A and B are shown apart, each in its own frame.
Chain A
Amino acid sequence: MKRRRISTGLAVLALVALPGAIGYRGTEATQMAGQPAAKKTLDSKFVERGNYLVSAMGCHDCHTPWKVGPKGPEPDMTRALTGHPADMVMPPPPKLPEGPWIALMAATNTAWAGPWGVSFTANLTPDPETGLGKWTDEMFITAMRTGRHEGKGRPILPPMPWSMYRNLNDEDLRSIFAYLQSLKPVHNRVPQPIDPPEAGR
């Protein structure tokens, strides 16, 4: 990994080194919505374990926007798990030169650009219009198992490591979902992913 300096400006991107020959598959950050979520009864045991798993498995790394703290960039926990900020409009990603550099990320670590296009990390709070408020645990489990948005839709894009999480058992996935549903809903409409030009229309 080659170290690059990241400015505090939100539009500044950091380069990430990757072997050029690496293939990729699939998708995304999410943009969700819907109507008010039904009131759910959450089992505290599941919520507690979900909190543990979310904290230990790096969910905040991408789904919580980074800010610059006294020791450098760090997750801004006042915006925990709210995904890419809707008011942070990203400019088109700069073109990378030929070579092994193939991906870019925003200073918030919530927007990524690469061969798959541009992906934005999802709002995981239970806001019914812009988060997971209308999702069910079954939908969440299916999405993690299939790598498809809402379990049936478009592919979930890099850098979301769903193919690692799909090996979690049902109880762990259900726990993660229970914890996410226990959060305070935050209205933050994450942009739709942007396909690479060659994807066609």
Chain B
Amino acid sequence: MNRTVRRAAGGALAAWLLAVGLQASRRPAGDVPADPAQPPRLLSATGLYIAGRVGEVDPRNRQFTPQYPLWTDGLTKRRWIQLPDGATIDGRAEQAWNFPVGTRIWKEFARGQQPVETRMLWKATAEGWVFASYVWNADGSDATLAPDDGIVGVAEVAPGRRHSIPSKSDCVACHGAPAKANPLGFTALQLSTDRDPGAIHGEPLAAHMVTTRTLIEDGLLTGARTDMLTNPPRIQTGSPLTRSVLGYLSANCAMCHNGNGEIAALGPVIRVADLVTDGDAVARTLVGQRTRWQVPGEADGESVLVHEGAPERSAIYVRMRSRSPSSQMPPLGTTVRDQVAVDTIARWISIELMRAH
């Protein structure tokens, strides 16, 4: 152990330098297994478009739009799914549909008319999903597979704020490990025919888009409960504002804070299965729930997720409002505050929750 300032400071400095150097070298992590299948190098080879006609989506790919979109700094999105011929989705577990091997799902991010990135989830084998992100060429002629470490700052999304291509570990952080991963926007609730008219940043549902109804009528979803269309999934609450807020939290927070996985014991639990049973009960669990993250100005260890009537004392509000790397929520995938959502949740905390008493 170093005993002098010089040697000790040098040791710490060396450690940091090593960290920086190794990050740059992109060495593979220790026991992380190789992908079961390698995605194509170009987006044009993934099956999204008609062969030789980049930009013209293959008619076999069905477009969909989740009712509660994930916020990605205001970028516009288009999404498609392709199921293998003759294959169906096993819908017996309503909160965890099982997709057939060969399923491909794409999500395109664009600023205005300019595509920036297209991601692909590909269930390449029975062992799990492959994550791939493609970066568009400046001339829009094709998109190229991004490196495993992602790419920082590929496009400006607001003055001084830039969109980054996620690393593979970031993909895993939200979707889970490949063997356990699931598409987050293609679920029974997200495709429900009972769409929330108050959904924050809700997108128009066009007639050609996939819903639970089209999936069932087209024979692409098997094993779903028989009343799926007469009693479609819906966040159960008598308050339209609470429905909207819980829908937003389900899409933007519950990919991690769902009571499962590595952080199950640490944070709020927002399970879709609970939301569609009794959303108000889920909302009540957030009120007064202690959080380890310290809300500025609160006494040590006394911070709560939601402080009724006081957004500024509520960790959820403060962290949603922040875009400082150490405090923002979600912690990745966004560098621009979602002001509409922040204002909505402030209204919910300061008015709606108080009215409920």
Contact = CB atoms under 8 A, between A and B. Distances in A.
Interface of A: 1, 3-6, 14, 16-18, 22-28, 31-35, 58, 60-62, 66, 69, 71-75, 103, 105, 109, 117, 129, 134, 136, 138-139, 142, 145-155, 157-164, 166-170, 173, 189, 192-195, 199-201
B117 to A, nearest CB: 20
Contacts of A161: 15-16, 18-19, 22
Contacts, number: 178
A200 B263 contact: no
A195 B324 contact: yes
B5 A146 contact: no
B334 to A, nearest CB: 12
B184 to A, nearest CB: 14
Given A193-B326, A195-B324, A58 B263 contact: no
A43 B326 CA distance: 34
6 contacts: A35-B265, A138-B262, A160-B19, A161-B19, A169-B31, A192-B293
B20 interface: yes
Contact of A139 (B10, B23, B263, B323): B263
A138 to B, nearest CB: 5
B9 A14 contact: yes
Nearest to B24: A23
The winner among B2, B15, B16 for most chain A CB atoms within 10 A is B16
B326 A27 contact: yes
A59 B39 CA distance: 38
Contacts of A16: 9, 12-13
B265 A142 contact: no
The winner among A24, A27, A155, A163 for most chain B CB atoms within 10 A is A163
Interface in B1-37: 1-6, 8-13, 15-20, 22-24, 27, 29-32
A150 B22 CA distance: 21
Contact of A61 (B4, B11, B332): B11
Contact of B300 (A34, A166, A170, A189): A189
A88 B262 CA distance: 31
Contacts of B12: 16, 58, 61-62, 105, 109, 159
